[in-house]
Amino acid sequence: MSRCSSRPLNILYAQIFSLPNTTVFSLLFFCTFIDCVASVQPSDTLKVNKNFILTGYSQFGSVMATNPFLKPTDPILDRDYDFLALSFQFQKQTTGKSIWEKNYGYPSYGVGIYSATFFNTSKLGTPIAAYALFKAPFKRWNRLSFNYEGGFGLTFNWEGYNPSENSYNISMGADQSVFIDLGTSLTYALNSFFDIGLGYSFTHFSNGALKSPNYGLNTFAPKVSLSYHPNRFVSPAVKETLPAFRQKTYLDFSLYGGVKNVLYMGSKPDSTANYEGAYYSVYGFNTLLSRQVTYKSKIGIGLSLGYDGSNNSAIFVKGPKPEAGGKGSWGNNLNLSIYPSYELVIHHLSVVIQPGFYLFRKTTVNNKPPTYQRLGLRYQLSKRIFAGICLRAYNYHVSDFIEWSAGYRINLSSE
């Protein structure tokens, strides 16, 4: 049942395999696929009683070599970055009492704990993540189900970059990061209590440039799962008919803010300065005109006026800590951009994909590319108030900063 290192950073950037470029477009395709293919109303709908699900899964695989630190010296013998991961989840099974539950094929959602052990823990550590998750079927055939799932949370316990003890780790600049997991799976109901599952998932770890260096770490590996349903009961299948969707137009206004960490790259051999860098503020104002065209999809176009304190930045070492300088006048750090927008709507939550194009900004020695990408989540707190968190990136794989936002929505459609 479903619904349709010491080298200049710019040189190191150029060496990174641009897989996340593919990942961004794959995510957009994935969301569109969910809306189109998985939105076809089936002839029969399976009814389930309200209950909770306990799930455990394990993974074994290799870290993707997306930067020089992670590339093995011997592709056959060097297995430093193989990993074993375990996760335990608590999920709530929806029952179809709301339209969005039926629209997503009776999904489940909940929280989970994740832990990974790398063959070389001295370089990467033993990360532990706490995350929220969402799981829904593309299609269900009696006992068999083909599902898509996603998780978002925070990770701790990394062995982050340290100039004296772990200077080669340019993947993780700190011992915390964001956890993002996307995957698919096939599950089979053994009986009324247990399901087994087999799938693949892509997992991304990054701190959103809150602490540099931050090239991130990615895994793509198979997983095996076992789920326990203590109170599952299946009733006879019945036909479901959803009411026709009424399209609506919205005008959103929001404020955003964040910080960026820039490392000292001067000639003074001060490892502390290199490690700490300096922090700059980023903030701005967004406006977005959008139209929700289906229960799941919302498209739109927006403008963003922003301030980036790191523009034309220069870091000096005069004492024990580096100091930010070279900021110039306030107006020199302004920028104006336009962005198309796509949102995958899951009840009050939306997955936001927004590629941006600068219309105006001051030309400086450290300008980023003329385009950027915004990926994240937005939650509707009420009919008019919303909050969000997004990762602002450029070149499709380099984190720029984490954008926290809050805003106000106006419904332009007649009630």
State which of 238, 264, 287 marks the end of a domain.
Answer: 238
Per DSSP, helices labelled H in 111-237 are 121-124
Per-residue pLDDT of 39-92, as tens digits, reads 444 434 445 555 889 999 999 988 877 766 676 654 544 555 688 999 999 999
State which of 202, 219, 238 marks the end of a domain.
Answer: 238
pLDDT at 44: 40
What distance in Å separates the CA atoms of residue 82 and residue 228, rounded to the nearest whole number? 29
- Measured CA to CA in angstroms, residue 407 lies from 42, 68, 388 at distances of 37, 40, 9
Q: Are residues 29 and 121 in the same domain?
A: yes
- Token pair recorded at residue 38: 């998985």
Enclosing domain of residue 231: 9-238
pLDDT at 225: 96
pLDDT at 395: 81
What distance in Å separates the CA atoms of residue 112 and residue 51, rounded to the nearest whole number? 17
What distance in Å separates the CA atoms of residue 277 and residue 280, rounded to the nearest whole number? 10
Per-residue pLDDT of 229-254, as tens digits, reads 988 765 545 556 788 899 999 999 99
State which of 238, 273, 296 marks the end of a domain.
Answer: 238
Report yes or no: 104 and 346 within 8 Å, Cβ to Cβ: yes
Low-confidence residues of the chain: pLDDT under 50:
1-26, 29, 32-33, 37-46, 74, 76-77, 236
Q: Name the helix (H) or strand (E) containing 323.
A: strand 322-325
> What is the domain count for the chain?
2
Q: Are residues 370 and 279 in the same domain?
A: yes
- The CATH number of the domain where 176 resides is what? 2.40.160.20
Please measure the distance between the N-terminal and C-terminal CA atoms of the chain and give it in whole angstroms.
32
Task: Provide DSSP, 346-370.
Answer: ETTEEEEEEEEEEEEE---TTPPPS
Per-residue pLDDT of 36-45, as tens digits, reads 544 444 434 4
